[in-house]
């Protein structure tokens, strides 16, 4: 646990636990033992505070905010214990296509792989279809009842599932707005933003979705002479890959169908199709509506162009650096004028 982080509604900061490690360990060990026996989480740990973080767009629109939950610090310690018990065994069962929240994997792996795929498509003059899938409020939308069944399917012990499920029962939330707290309301869907277990739970859901989408269906691209690729994933940032229009259409429709079974909705207006070396002008559709096509797309923070290469991405990064430098220079000039005596 890092120092200086905000505490949850119980007002217990990480510093209080670290102040006397021996005493804290004894208290938490006794408490965790009771939780393990009774399979019940303290009610205080089920209350969370929601902090609003602005994204892009109109700040009057609630959709343009990201919510981060302030959780109980002792509850986080318990989640760390549970995660350490589960992660190694379950991680080995996840598809290699997924790089999000996994040890020794990063978004640069996926970006580099996608660039190589595009360059190979140009070099070999082979058709390529990429579907950059955008889920709408993915962490907040997962259906919990289906998620608990999925944990059982993955072979996670019933006692651990019961403890995790109990931590979500009667979960109450209050929003911090203008320094004040709103009335409490119940949160009945999704996983907690900011919880150590949430990325793990979410990866299990995405892994199941992609296994169902690609199971026993040969709609891949040839990656090397000995291996194929169906998709590239980083958490909920999915890039579906196919060589033909029909394959991509079928894969997109199936992904949409399977996703809804777990409560996830694909945002059609933000999902993009990229085509290379194909004369087929027919659109890829979802629910009967065409998906927008693009020649470049910002994937995991990096600009991907249909012709491959990094020139466009480098230009975009230089422009961002230039804007940041101008902003910092203005701040420096303002501070300098304040320090200059009249």
**Structure confidence at residue 114 (pLDDT):** 93
Helix H or strand E segment including 80: helix 73-91
Buried residues in 112-147 as b, exposed as e (16+ CB within 10 A): ebbbebbebbeeeeebbbbbbbebbebbebbbbeeb
pLDDT above 70: percentage of residues in the chain: 94
**Structure confidence at residue 213 (pLDDT):** 93
Q: Give the torsion sign (CA, 24, 29, 31, 35).
A: positive
For residue 320, pLDDT over 90 is answered with no
The whole-chain average pLDDT of the chain stands at 89
Domain regions of the chain by residue span: 14-309, 311-342
Q: What are phi and psi of 237, to 5 degrees?
A: -85, 100
The closest of 220, 211, 214, 215 to 262, measured between CA atoms, is 211
The closest of 84, 81, 11 to 41, measured between CA atoms, is 81
**Structure confidence at residue 338 (pLDDT):** 61
- 280-294 pLDDT, tens digit per residue, is 999 999 999 999 999
């Amino acid at each position: 646990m890092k120092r200086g982080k905000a505490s949850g509604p119980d007002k217990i900061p990480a510093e209080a636990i670290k102040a006397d490690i021996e005493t804290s360990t004894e208290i938490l060990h006794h408490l965790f033992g009771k939780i393990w026996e009774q399979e019940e989480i303290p009610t205080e740990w089920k209350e969370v505070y929601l902090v609003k973080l602005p994204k892009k767009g109109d700040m009057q629109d609630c959709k343009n905010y990201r919510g981060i939950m302030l959780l109980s610090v002792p509850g986080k310690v318990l989640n760390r214990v549970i995660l350490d018990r589960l992660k190694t065994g379950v991680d080995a069962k996840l598809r290699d296509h997924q790089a999000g929240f996994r040890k020794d994997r990063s978004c640069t792996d996926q970006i580099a792989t996608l660039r190589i795929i595009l360059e190979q498509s140009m070099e070999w003059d082979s058709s390529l279809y990429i579907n950059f899938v955008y889920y709408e409020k993915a962490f907040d939308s997962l259906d919990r009842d289906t998620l608990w069944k999925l944990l059982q399917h993955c072979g996670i012990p019933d006692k651990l599932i019961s403890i995790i499920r109990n931590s979500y029962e009667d979960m109450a939330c209050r929003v911090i707005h203008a320094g004040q707290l709103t009335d409490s309301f119940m949160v009945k869907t999704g996983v907690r933003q900011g919880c150590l277990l949430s990325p793990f739970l979410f990866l299990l859901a995405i892994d199941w979705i992609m296994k169902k989408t690609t199971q026993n269906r040969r709609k891949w691209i040839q990656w090397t002479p000995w291996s194929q690729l169906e998709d590239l994933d980083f958490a909920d940032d999915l890039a579906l890959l196919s060589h033909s229009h029909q394959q991509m259409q079928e894969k997109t429709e199936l992904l949409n169908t399977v996703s809804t079974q777990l409560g996830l909705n694909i945002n059609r207006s933000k999902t993009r199709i990229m085509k290379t070396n194909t004369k087929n002008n027919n659109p890829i559709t979802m629910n009967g509506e065409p998906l927008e096509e693009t020649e470049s797309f910002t994937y995991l923070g990096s600009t991907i162009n249909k012709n491959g290469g990094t020139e466009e991405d480098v230009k975009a990064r230089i422009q961002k650096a230039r804007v940041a430098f101008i902003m910092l220079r203005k701040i420096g000039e303002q501070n300098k004028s304040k320090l200059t005596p009249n």
